Amino acid sequence: MNGFVLVLALVALAFAQNTAVRRFGLKGLRYTRRFSRRTAFEGEDAEMVEVIRNDRLLFIPWVRAESRLSPYLRFGRQENLSISGERYHKSIFTLAPFQQITRRHKVRLAHRGVYDAGNVTLSAGDLLTGGEGVAEMHSPAVITVYPKLLGENEIAVPFSRLQGEWVIRRRLIPDPFWINGIRAYQRGDSVRDIHWPASARMGEIQVKTHDDTADTRLLTVINVQMSEDQWGELMEYEQSLIEYAISLAATVSIKALASGIAAGFAANMPMGETDTPALLPPDAYQGREEELLAAFAALRIHRCRNFLSFLDDLTVFHGTDMLLISAYMSEAVEEKIKALRTLGNTVTVHLIEKEAERA
């Protein structure tokens, strides 16, 4: 009789626990996920940090946090962590009342891109019946992975030589920070250049004169097409070649900014969820490097505009140095380049197939 009562008590306890977990287990849970870094470069490591807290007076035998992640986020082996097919991430927790657990998972960032790991499915259940409650949630866990920047040994032509070829300091403009003297005011001089102390001494208006500086702008242009008539999606080995082109364009752009040159880029492929060609006109200001790198990270390898038509779009630029990165050249492309040059642009073509094979 006592045994029968014990069995009934255990069944009642299991039922009560199952009911409590199903009804209240997830309601009392707080779960957040984030990356230890907001940005990183391809090939670097980061941590994905999970924090889960049980805010109720209820023991929860197990909680499972599941999500589908990119295979380019590569996790190492770890207790209570399961990775299926390099895509499905599962963490298992056991939570006492009012307990908080923090876990840090090391992740290798194997490919450039923008990764959102915030969509999570939480399941909570008991040990005896296997019953569970399920809830969907989103945590702000986004990391932007910049393309790999190339070393000098990974570029067939050193940057210094490229700079000499396509950075033409053609248009000299007054530099307001370099004053080399004063002279009498002439019609058309800016009021901002009036030198008031000198004007008082001379008895007539005097203006400051300036040294000249170069106005240099670089636009790197990436062609995602592998041939003149290519239309469909690229094969995997072809995509690796375009990835190299993106890394080359990013490297040249960042080096240009470091040399005091306004930099931008254009590509006949889209960024993020848009379906229009990428275009960031040359510019230089604080934060420009991060802006360019984030744009390179967001590029999708997909041809959204024929390259010949895309070159026509670039005729809005005048007096700009252009570095055209492409896997091929043709007579039709040469004609488009001639048209760009007639507008005062300098255009240097950099073919990448052999270079990428060495890198």
What's the pLDDT tens digit per position in 36-48?
Answer: 999 999 999 999 9
84-101 pLDDT, tens per residue? 655 788 888 999 999 999
Q: Name the residue ranges covered by the structural domains of the chain.
A: 26-146, 152-170+215-358, 174-213
Instruction: List the one residue out of 33, 197, 44, 62 whose CA is nearest residue 107.
Output: 44
Share of the chain above pLDDT 90, in %: 48
> For tokens 């008539």, what's the residue?
229
Pairwise CA distance, residues 136 & 300, whole Å: 28
From edge to edge, which strands make up the β-sheet containing 217-222? 278-283, 262-267, 217-222, 321-326, 346-351
Residue 177 DSSP SS3 = strand
Do 227 and 334 contact (CB within 8 A), yes or no?
Answer: no
Whether the per-residue pLDDT at 188 is higher than 70: the answer is: no
DSSP string over 16-62 = HHHHHIIIIITTTEEEEEEES-SEEETT-EEEEEEEEEE-SS--EEE
Pairwise CA distance, residues 52 & 267, whole Å: 43
**Do 152-170+215-358 and 26-146 fall under one CATH topology?**
no
Pairwise CA distance, residues 33 & 75, whole Å: 15
Locate the DSSP E strands across 69-165: 73-75, 81-84, 88-95, 100-109, 113-116, 119-125, 132-138, 142-146
Q: CATH classification of 26-146 is 2.60.40.10, yes or no?
A: yes
CATH number of 152-170+215-358: 3.40.50
Residue 152 DSSP SS3 = helix
Do 131 and 21 contact (CB within 8 A), yes or no?
Answer: yes
Do 278 and 294 contact (CB within 8 A), yes or no?
Answer: no
The count of residues in the chain is 359
pTM of the shown model: 0.78
248-269 pLDDT, tens per residue? 999 999 999 998 889 999 999 9
280-298 pLDDT, tens per residue? 999 999 999 999 999 999 9
97-118 pLDDT, tens per residue? 999 999 999 999 999 999 999 8
What pLDDT, on the 0 to 100 scale, is given for residue 167? Answer: 45
Residue 150 DSSP one-character state: P
Residue 269 DSSP one-character state: S
272: left (phi over 0), alpha (psi -120 to 50) or beta: left
The angle subtended at Cα 72 by Cα 68 and Cα 74, nearest 5°, is 85
313-354 pLDDT, tens per residue? 999 998 899 999 999 999 999 999 999 999 989 999 999 875
The angle subtended at Cα 151 by Cα 260 and Cα 256, nearest 5°, is 15
